[in-house]
Chain A
Amino acid sequence: MINPLSLAVNGVPYSAGIEPHRTLLSVLREELGITGPKEGCDDSECGACMVLLDGEPTNACCFLALQADGREVTTIEGIADNPVGSRIQARMLEDGGIQCGFCTPGIVVMATALLSTNPNPDEEEIRNALAGNLCRCTGYQKIVAAVTKAAGDLA
């Protein structure tokens, strides 16, 4: 059964008819063509699908799309204009925090949320925040270094 869904994605209002079992990730990628959030594990282990839901990091792969009705979603595409996210992205590139790149959107989303609420995190706080973001290339040292340097740049 199709139900109405209205939400704002990166500031743009969308309306669509959606079935109850559909996830936010599938709607973003397949209905709206927003493919920055990735489908990795598809059961909320890896964080590649991470988006901000009303500003809070959320795994879109296991969030029912209809439960996002009336809410504001920010994907990696929407973070391009955010000065914090933009600096993290630049540091990820400059400091080798990106290898295959599949986990990168989720990591930049999570790190943006972290630095937006805690501008000067220590290494442990960065590692705790990113604990739900898996990098199969195992590039964690450089990812943590990139976030640390981004925080320094923004200070």
Chain B
Amino acid sequence: MTARQYFAPSNVDEALKVIAEHGRVGVVAGGTDAVVGHRSGKHQLADVVIGIHRLQDLNGIQQTHDGGLSIGSLTSYASLLSSSEILERLTALADASAIVGSCATRNVGTLGGNIVNASPAMDTGAPLMVFNAVIELRSQAHTRQLPITELWTGPGLSVIGDDELLVSVTIPPMPQQSGSSYLRLEYRRAMEIAVVGVAARVTLAEDGIVAAASIALAAVGPTCFLVAAAGHALVGQRLDESNIAEAGAIAAAAAKPISDNRASENYRRQMVSVLTRRAITVAAARAAGRTVRVPASQRWREATI
């Protein structure tokens, strides 16, 4: 099967024109999903391939006027990992970016590609949810912002229109004494797909009481999703083994895993509880100013509450 046509637009307006005409199905950023899927026989490349790699306006990380960060959709995992703002302020996103694929995948794969590919097992989805990320979609006709919590509708499915291009992800500023983490249950350290993924964000008040907390899960439902009740259970508390375990139990009860060749439904559900406890512990340690190195999946033992 050969693609009939190829476009490599040099700016966003040109890209939107091509996408309006041919649909977004053929858009290729780094190709670490689109081309890998094509080579492995999972799905064919579209008839019309639209390489968006030249849209340099969409590559990079910028401060927003209110102190948040705006990440261009073409920013690679490797670029995210080389950003001190991401490592220090959005550490869960660094935890996720550090374990996607291998070094070669991270050099080429993009944050926007991970989001639009819409795998329920994606690594950056749960972190973006606990950070209340907002994406910006652009078409020739309009520009719209959408909370990431409203984006995905099922495996490989989202509300992105056929004429829309994801241009950026904006993350609001985090309060002082906030920390975050993303942990993945994995059978190997590289080229792995999450068996279970958990992101946690914890904000501590001056007295060490939890002021805000958020938990999101990956690979245990048709999309990544927030478990608001697990975060709420921690607010107003001083973290201890018992309330962390309670949040883990709430997350496990909210999980909707399937059985497949990577794990059974029951095993996944039990592991949600374990990984949620670890993720909260790492996020809280980071919120308190203690160092737990990236990626948390390999370093969670460094954390104490």
Residues of A within 8 A of B (CB): 1, 3, 19-21, 23, 42-45, 47, 50, 53, 56-59, 61-64, 66-67, 69, 110, 113, 128-129, 131-133
Asked if B6 and A132 make an inter-chain contact with CB atoms under 8 angstroms apart, the answer reads no
With contacts A64-B49, A67-B8 taken as known, whether A19 is within 8 angstroms of B3 at the C-beta atoms is yes
Asked if B51 and A67 make an inter-chain contact with CB atoms under 8 angstroms apart, the answer reads yes
Asked if B2 and A44 make an inter-chain contact with CB atoms under 8 angstroms apart, the answer reads no
Q: What are the 7 closest A-B residue pairs judged by CB atoms, nearest first?
A: A132-B102, A131-B190, A20-B6, A43-B40, A20-B3, A56-B107, A62-B35
Besides A66-B51, A132-B105, A133-B102, 9 new A-B residue pairs in contact (Cβ under 8 A), listed by A number:
A1-B5, A1-B6, A20-B45, A23-B39, A56-B78, A66-B6, A110-B103, A132-B101, A132-B191
Asked if B191 and A67 make an inter-chain contact with CB atoms under 8 angstroms apart, the answer reads no
Q: Does B212 contact A (CB under 8 A)?
A: no
From residue A68, how far is it (CB to closest CB) to chain B in Å? 9
Asked if B39 and A3 make an inter-chain contact with CB atoms under 8 angstroms apart, the answer reads no
- Please, how many angstroms separate the alpha-carbon atoms of A120 and B77 in the complex? 23
Name which residue of chain B comes closest to A134, CB basis: B191
Q: Which residues of A contact B103 (CB under 8 A)?
A: 57, 110, 113, 128-129, 131-132
Asked if B1 and A57 make an inter-chain contact with CB atoms under 8 angstroms apart, the answer reads no
Asked if A62 and B3 make an inter-chain contact with CB atoms under 8 angstroms apart, the answer reads no
From residue A31, how far is it (CB to closest CB) to chain B in Å? 15
Q: Which residues of B contact A67 (CB under 8 A)?
A: 8, 28, 31, 51, 53
**What's the tally of chain B residues with a CB closer than 8 Å to chain A?**
30
From residue A105, how far is it (CB to closest CB) to chain B in Å? 13
Q: Does B36 contact A (CB under 8 A)?
A: yes
From residue A33, how far is it (CB to closest CB) to chain B in Å? 21
Q: Which residues of B contact A110 (CB under 8 A)?
A: 103-104
Asked if A20 and B49 make an inter-chain contact with CB atoms under 8 angstroms apart, the answer reads yes
Q: Which residues of A contact B40 (CB under 8 A)?
A: 42-43
Residues of B within 8 A of A (CB): 1-6, 8, 28, 31-32, 35-36, 38-40, 45, 49, 51, 53, 78, 101-105, 107-108, 189-191
From residue A106, how far is it (CB to closest CB) to chain B in Å? 9
Other-chain contact of A21, B3, B102, B105, B190 (Cβ < 8 Å) = B3
- Please, how many angstroms separate the alpha-carbon atoms of A69 and B104 in the complex? 19
With contacts A21-B45, A63-B31, A64-B31 taken as known, whether A58 is within 8 angstroms of B2 at the C-beta atoms is no
Q: Which of A43, A50, A58, A62 has the most CB of B within 10 A?
A: A62
Name which residue of chain A comes closest to B35, CB basis: A62
- Please, how many angstroms separate the alpha-carbon atoms of A113 and B36 in the complex? 23
Other-chain contact of B104, A1, A66, A128, A132 (Cβ < 8 Å) = A132
From residue A114, how far is it (CB to closest CB) to chain B in Å? 8
CB pairs A–B below 8 angstroms (30 shown): A19-B2, A19-B3, A20-B2, A20-B3, A20-B5, A20-B6, A23-B35, A42-B39, A42-B40, A44-B35, A44-B36, A44-B101, A47-B104, A56-B78, A57-B104, A59-B105, A62-B39, A63-B31, A64-B35, A64-B49, A66-B6, A66-B8, A67-B28, A67-B53, A69-B8, A110-B104, A128-B189, A128-B190, A131-B191, A133-B102
From residue B98, how far is it (CB to closest CB) to chain A in Å? 9
Q: Which residues of A contact B31 (CB under 8 A)?
A: 62-64, 67
